[in-house]
Amino acid sequence: VEFVRATYRLDAPPHAARERAELLALEQSVELPRETLRDERVVREVLPRVESIEPDAAGGSLARIAYPIAITGSDPAQLLNVLFGNCSLQPDVALADCDLPEGLLDPLGGPHFGLAGLRRAVGEPERGLTCTALKPMGLDAAALGELCFHFARAGIDVIKDDHGLSDQPFCRFVDRVHACLGAVERAVRLGARRALYVPNLNGAPEALAAQLEIAQDAGVRALLAEPMVIGLPLFRELTARARMPVFAHPALAGSLRIRPELWLGRLFRAYGADAVIYPHSGGRFSYDEPTCARIARRLTEPLGGLEPSLPVPAGGMTVERVPELLRFYGPDVMLLLGGSLYRAGSRLEERAREFVDAVARASPARGSAA
């Protein structure tokens, strides 16, 4: 029998944690008291096992539970159900970690392009990569296209939609895509490198499928989506159908009692994200540096045969922090600056060029990553 092993943090001292963990194992599987289980096969093949209990350095206990892989049905939705379905309703339980055995990696799929595929798409095999966002929502397609043109002229590698840009009345998805792709080509004709424009797909499944078709027909070469907003199973299906790299944005994913390095770092990658955007320490969000380092490690470490995903730290970074960020992450990173470039007002393109230059100058040689 193959197992999925998950580690939970329990608000219980080690002497009480064994009993709590046994209840948790029942809750996440058979949902029955142990003494009512009379079928020998259920006990032998289905019942998860509490494999270990350890004190957690931060208080409470860490319990490792091994789930027979069969109970996940090798399905992207049912796996979430098993890992954190019912116990999401029990505030004394947090999901700290889980492994992903071979038998699950295949149905989940993993990145179809990954870090290497994104480097190919932007034509940069070596240095740290640059990214910015088109905003604010409310501008029409022509205005967003104009911003895209300036960023492309400045040499930014990836120009993505803000994750709040959807199919809104003030700017339809189809119009934005054509305006921004046109802007990139205009910049190319004026001598710029061809930036990668990344539209945000967001909607119920039918709307999402229509947006994907528009993007594919228009010649878009990478996409952005919010896995928790559309649902991880739908996100996985999108990455399987996209035929191009997909960036994942962490909207709605921050408030689960699930450690971010597991959810954003391991699961988003396993569900197909070629790049994962997350808030770096010191900006508008709350992750500390060790958490950010763990997210980046989880995105790039060996995991079965899965491609590494590209870490995209974001959330209030500045040009001045570029050297520090590249020291922290090494070259296999894409730095995303948004608001701090917009603060330059009419000097936007110049400021974006300073960002590009700062990354080029500060990019460590490959192999010297922190």
Angle CA 254–255–256, to nearest 5: 105
Residue 263 or 363 having the CB closest to a copy of itself: 263
Angle CA 42–258–222, to nearest 5: 105
Residue at token pair 């959330």: 315
Asked if residue 300 lies in contact with residue 309, where contact means CB atoms within 8 angstroms, the answer is yes
Closest distance between a copy of itself and the C-beta of residue 36, in Å? 4
Residue 367 found at the interface with a copy of itself (CB under 8 A): no
Residue 52 or 74 having the CB closest to a copy of itself: 74
Residue 188 found at the interface with a copy of itself (CB under 8 A): no
Closest distance between a copy of itself and the C-beta of residue 366, in Å? 30
Q: Scanning residues 118 to 177, which ones bind a copy of itself (CB under 8 A)?
A: 133, 135-139, 143, 162-164, 166-170
Query: With contacts defined by CB under 8 A, how many residues of the chain interact with a copy of itself?
Result: 89
Q: Which of 19, 123, 286, 361 binds a copy of itself (CB under 8 A)?
A: 286
Closest distance between a copy of itself and the C-beta of residue 301, in Å? 23
Residue 288 found at the interface with a copy of itself (CB under 8 A): no
* Strand partners for 23: none
Q: Scanning residues 328 to 347, which ones bind a copy of itself (CB under 8 A)?
A: 338-339, 342-343, 345
Closest distance between a copy of itself and the C-beta of residue 133, in Å? 7
Closest distance between a copy of itself and the C-beta of residue 178, in Å? 18
Q: Scanning residues 207 to 236, which ones bind a copy of itself (CB under 8 A)?
A: 207-208, 226, 228-234, 236
* Site track for a copy of itself across 98-117, x = CB under 8 A: --------------------
Torsion of CA 117, 332, 152, 225, to 10 degrees: 60
Residue 78 found at the interface with a copy of itself (CB under 8 A): yes
Asked if residue 88 lies in contact with residue 101, where contact means CB atoms within 8 angstroms, the answer is no
Q: What are the φ/ψ torsions at residue 127 (nearest 5 degrees)?
A: -80, 170
* Site track for a copy of itself across 12-51, x = CB under 8 A: -----------x---xxxxxxx-xxxxx-xx--xxx----
Asked if residue 87 lies in contact with residue 28, where contact means CB atoms within 8 angstroms, the answer is yes
Q: d(Cα 210, Cα 242) in Å, to the nearest integer?
A: 12
Residue 365 found at the interface with a copy of itself (CB under 8 A): no
- C-alpha pair distances (Å), 343 with each of 198, 319, 339, 368: 22, 12, 6, 33
- C-alpha pair distances (Å), 190 with each of 61, 180, 193, 313, 353: 60, 15, 9, 30, 16
Residue 188 or 251 having the CB closest to a copy of itself: 251
Q: What are the φ/ψ torsions at residue 156 (nearest 5 degrees)?
A: -65, 140
Residue 84 found at the interface with a copy of itself (CB under 8 A): yes
